[in-house]
Structure 1
């Protein structure tokens, strides 16, 4: 649905996005994540033809250029702040973008905006304005939906609702590119994660691979921890000491169990110790910074 190849984006003469390539397949929910200033919003603006770039961007095999935005007819977007007119009602704002009144009514009901849709948007709360911006992005049954920090200003109930709607549209074939600092929420919907820092992609993987990473260590507790530690040391088993237990890599699991059995050490607990998605991402970024510092 979206194919970005060797994209460089410039602000003035400065190259902000550096040789970025990735794809978003139909029905995929791709999370674009990274620290502040990494280039997430700039990538989204470039895809929408709003900034000068080299390389190629294609939506449904149609190229996006500075002078030709026809490829974007099937794209909905919310970038930075909702593009709404404050002295128009929510409904009037939607009518400016809508090509199908039935679809517009469907989006209003889906986002549960009926009680305030006729009120002037200048009187909306931050969360209400955000939902209106999301509603605009979902109008006209887009094939590709680009959302920049969509959960900003939303309460828990609205966040859960948006999450369900994203999954619903994806199940019907719509593709998503979403940036968010709320990684826990993003993890619940995305099928692939793209990690960007300093304008470069450093990770582009299915979310399933991150889930595997989160269970790469096992917690071990035995009836004699001192003896266990010595056994592992004698057999060159790398361990991490943590409080009153030990951590080992998952690929050493069977070897460790055999050693304990051979040495008559009773195992009290053996369980996976997961890392959160945030911890994995922070670890990758820290490793990247160390490598850059060593160069």
Structure 2
């Protein structure tokens, strides 16, 4: 059982009428993995999540915990939890009543209430909840009953900093126990702290699927360079067709040109003052990848 993927998509295409929203999506999620499903607005992130849950018309194969998912047939999702778009809660029930509808284990439910610090309002009707309260209740519902895979669409939406940290730690702890996660979020800085692999989607197609460590290497491919005469350095780089970006007090160059740059500056008598790897945040890396894809 340990060798079975928590989730497997094989050439999955999703349709609304004759319009293709997602085309030939293929990726897997292993037990304990935290996959960040990222991309621009309208790229197809939520559509993929709905497809996995059998809520949309699709072709191809979706397998959850070894069982195939079919449209409007949710038997394969017994050990899956999900929060898609808006928490599926009943406004005229209390938070505890909403949880009780889904909970198989009272102790598990009580632990989640405590972990997410919902005790002060869990007995109030959900219609009076703030966005953050509703979000935490939706996350608790998704995590009930020790699911083998959890699908979360914008889980940090509406959460304050303290709640965001708590949710992040909870996700990490569940993953350490073997629960797999597929998470979409616009708050990439938070997602970067927990995810183990990046699946990047654009225009309904998966354009990148990499381990986080491999993906983050992209951030080391640019260097911050300062010389005693940046104006002259720019002329030298232009003359020798070295690509660079000029900033106010420094230049940005590619890792592949570093040795050539050092030799050129030495030969031209320009002293190098500083050269450092330029760390890019996740947002910047994603933008760079998308720009390359678009040409």
**TM-score by shorter chain over 0.5:** yes
Output the CA distance in 1 between the equivalents of 2:12 and 2:213. Answer: 27
CA distance in 1 between counterparts of 2:155 and 2:246 reads 40
Asked if residue 115 in structure 1 is aligned to residue 116 in structure 2, the reply is no
Give the aligned partner of residue 78 of structure 1.
Answer: 83
Distance verdict in 2 for CA 1:123–1:234, change over 3 Å: closer
* Partner Cα distance (1:52, 1:76) in 2: 20
Task: Quote the Cα distance in structure 1 between the aligned partners of 2:128 and 2:72.
Answer: 37
CA distance in 2, matches of 1:7, 1:154: 32
- SS class of match (1:43): helix
8 A contact 2:55–2:72 mirrored in 1: no
Residue 87 (structure 1) aligned with residue 84 (structure 2): no
Instruction: Give me the whole-angstrom Cα distance separating, in 2, the residues matched to 1:239 and 1:41.
Output: 37
Cα distance change, pair 65–113 in 1 and its aligned pair in 2 (3 A)? same
- In the superposition, the TM-score normalised over structure 1's length comes to 0.91
- Match of residue 165, structure 1, among 164, 170, 173: 170
- Equivalent pairs counted in the alignment come to 290
Alignment of 1:277 onto 2:278: no
Other-structure match for 1:58 = 63
1:246 positional shift: 2.1
Q: Unmatched 5+ residue regions in structure 1?
A: none
Aligned match of 2:202: 197
Residue 21 of structure 1 deviates from its aligned partner by 0.8
Contact 1:59 1:71 in 2 (8 A): yes
Return the alpha-carbon distance in structure 1 between the equivalents of residues 241 and 18 of structure 2: 54
| Distance of 1:76 and 1:95 partners within structure 2 | 15
Matched, 1:129 2:102: no
User: Deviation at 1:65?
Assistant: 1.5
Structure 1 contact 27–172 (Cα < 8 Å) conserved: yes
Q: Which residue of 2 aligns with 1:246?
A: 251
Q: Does 1:7 align with 2:12?
A: yes
For the aligned residues, what is the CA RMSD? 1.9
Q: TM-score, normalized by length of structure 2?
A: 0.91
**Shift of residue 233, structure 1, vs aligned partner:** 4.6
Q: Which of residues 4, 18, 21 is equivalent to 1:16?
A: 21
User: What SS class does the counterpart of residue 76 from structure 1 fall into?
Assistant: strand
In 1, Cα distance between the equivalents of 2:72 and 2:239?
A: 68
Closer, same or farther: CA 85–223 of 1 in aligned 2, 3 Å: same
CA separation of 1:226 and 1:81: change in aligned 2, threshold 3 A:
closer
Structure 2: gaps spanning 5 or more residues: 1-5
Deviations 1:4-27 (A, max 9, x none): 001111222322221111111111
Contact 1:210 1:277 in 2 (8 A): no
Look up the SS of the partner of 1:133 in the other structure.
helix
Question: How far is 1:237 from its partner?
Answer: 3.5
Alignment CA distance shift 1:226-1:39 (3 Å): closer
SS in 1 for 2:216: helix
Distance of aligned partners of 1:283 and 1:263 in 2 relative to their CA distance in 1, 3 Å threshold: closer
3-state SS of paired residue (1:214): helix
Q: Following superposition, which runs of at least 4 residues in structure 1 exceed 6 angstroms of deviation?
A: none
Distance 1:226 1:204 in 2: 40
Question: Alignment partner for residue 97 of structure 1, among 97, 102, 116?
Answer: 102
